Chains A and B, each alone.
Chain A
Amino acid sequence: MAEVGALRLGGFSRAVVWRPWRRVLIVLGAAGLTLLACLALGRIPLAPGALASALATPHSDLGLIVWQLRLPRTLLGALVGGALALSGWLLQQVMRNPLASPDTLGVTSGASAAAVGYFAFLAADLGSRWLPLAAASGALFAACVVYLMAWRRGVTPLRLVLTGIGLSALLGAVTTFVLVSSPLSTTLSAYVWLTGSVYGGNWPDVGQLALWFALAVAVMAPLVRFALLAALDDALAVGIGVRVQVVRAALMILAASLAGIAVAWGGAMAFVGLVAPHLARRLVRAPGAAQVVMACVLGACLVMLADLAGRTLCLPLDLPAGIFVAAIGAPFFLGLLLRQAS
């Protein structure tokens, strides 16, 4: 029992399993290093010393590059990745399946359809200012539709997933139709969005996303223990006094909101929500707070690295991060599928 500690203070008490947090700390350290690497590398690579001096002088030329270009963009990527990973973790708990993710459940395709519609019909008049709002409402709307369509005196994970896939296909067709019938320039910018990128992330973006992210995390924190219970059978969960349908609905809304805010600023980045939680589950076996934090940090690392690769590997091209998220995530995911199969 040594490894399970207890934290008690008056009426407040928590069980703490210390061991997995060591790993979380290590990964957190790695995330810090990734962040530094993202600041140092780019069209103008900086040696550690140069990076330090650039960080110290925000108004020098190099300082501007680091402070105004690289840092906000990297932080935006980290937040997007973290939010997607949290969303994926929640959905995998609620659906009781390691293959569930915002991509397979219609949430991302809702955001995509909304964003592509925005590009085709509204962007000309409104600019891209309201794009995040459109994407996030698309995501939430899709989640609500899936939930309502799957409702039949309660929802079950199976029906949710299948309905989500059906709606995904429908929305995918709508997206394609809009793409096909709009001019090529619109199609191209929509495509970059669909792939997912943190191009031109600036401080106001980071501020807004961070605010929403913090809000979502604040809501999520007290719900984590219910997310752990959501992985139980319905009968078992009822047996220990969980209001299964309420919990499921609340977690779904939360997951859709997280994915919604992430795609609002990062575009329809695939696979983060699938891969990061899964990786976290392998590093921290026991479901719990440590696993959640791990997933979030890994998601952040994944998108930061992908964006770094996107803007450094194919110079002078600056490629969308989504490409490299898929490139990193896909082999991993295929391995997962095949291992599950054998």
Chain B
Amino acid sequence: MTTISARRLTLGYQRRTILRDLSLDLPEGRISVLVGSNGCGKSTLLKALARLLDPWQGQVSLDGHDIRRRSTRAVARVLSLLPQHPVAPEGISVRQLVCLGRHPHQSWLSQWSEEDERRVDDALERTAMRDQAQRRVETLSGGQRQRAWIAMAVAQDTPLMLLDEPTSFLDLTHQMEVLELLKSLNREAGKTIVMVLHDLNLACRYADHIVAVRDGRVHAQGAPPAVITRERVREIFQLECRVIEDPFFHTPLCIPFGKQRDA
């Protein structure tokens, strides 16, 4: 199995510092969700974990070793990534897209082994994209497209998956669909999943571990009921709310209040 962690990470864009001396260990085999208000650095953190951004100081470790010391290909065999707004090459079919996920396992000699074929079929099966396999990606609906991207990451066959807002721009049905899919990947295939989500209640429902980011630091982390409390939400989001227990799923349910109303 593979563990990912950040040690005293400091980084930013140009002269602006986004993450300050941030350390974080993410539990193996679980679903971790990064939450926080806009611009708090949660997406930057995810990108740093995925080696898309180089830290100014500190390091990201994969199994205890600096991620930048390993070849990007070797990393891609244990860590897959779904960025926020992925763009597919023109004219590519779903199946071809999913095949691209096999790239880190291929060489010039072996570009389509039986293992490759099995993994691609399996990824299409798991994401219920089998019937859409021959369609071109640009003709898919938003929900299907997101499943196609997830299928590509699944075909990559990595113990660790990072996803940056996999539910953005999807309606509620498709948000649920994507999250259920990710949950099944976690429960059935044992994948460690780390993602950024905006919806706090969905985050509570699906996360085993919530990491609340504020001002480029980890403000709180732990199981959802421990992190999502009235006081914490006020600190993280500067928002008045009440947190009750979801009557069906028994996870925290956050009910936001307007700023002017006290309750």
Contacts and interface: CB of A to CB of B under 8 A. Distances in A.
A and B physically associate: yes
Interface of A: 1, 4, 6-8, 11-15, 93, 96, 98, 222, 225, 228-229, 231-236, 238-243, 281, 285-288
Given A8-B112, A240-B156, A228 B89 contact: yes
B180 interface: no
B223 interface: no
Interface string B80-117: 11110011111111011001110110101111111011
Interface in B51-91: 51-52, 71-77, 79-83, 86-91
B104 A286 contact: no
A242 B108 CA distance: 14
Given A14-B112, A241-B75, A286-B92, A236 B83 contact: yes
A243 to B, nearest CB: 6
B136 interface: yes
Nearest to A285: B91
Contacts, number: 111
B134 to A, nearest CB: 8
B92 A242 contact: no
Interface residues of B, number: 47
B41 to A, nearest CB: 17
Contacts of B109: 11-13
A240 B77 CA distance: 8
Contacts of A241: 71-77, 103-104
B82 A239 contact: yes
Interface of B: 47, 50-52, 71-77, 79-83, 86-93, 95-96, 99-101, 103-104, 106, 108-114, 116-117, 121, 133, 136, 152-153, 156
Nearest to A234: B52
Greatest chain A CB density within 10 A among B50, B52, B80, B89 is at: B89
A98 B52 CA distance: 27
16 contacts: A7-B112, A15-B117, A229-B100, A239-B50, A239-B79, A239-B156, A240-B101, A240-B103, A241-B75, A241-B104, A242-B72, A243-B73, A281-B90, A281-B91, A287-B89, A287-B92
Contacts of B133: 1
A235 B52 contact: yes
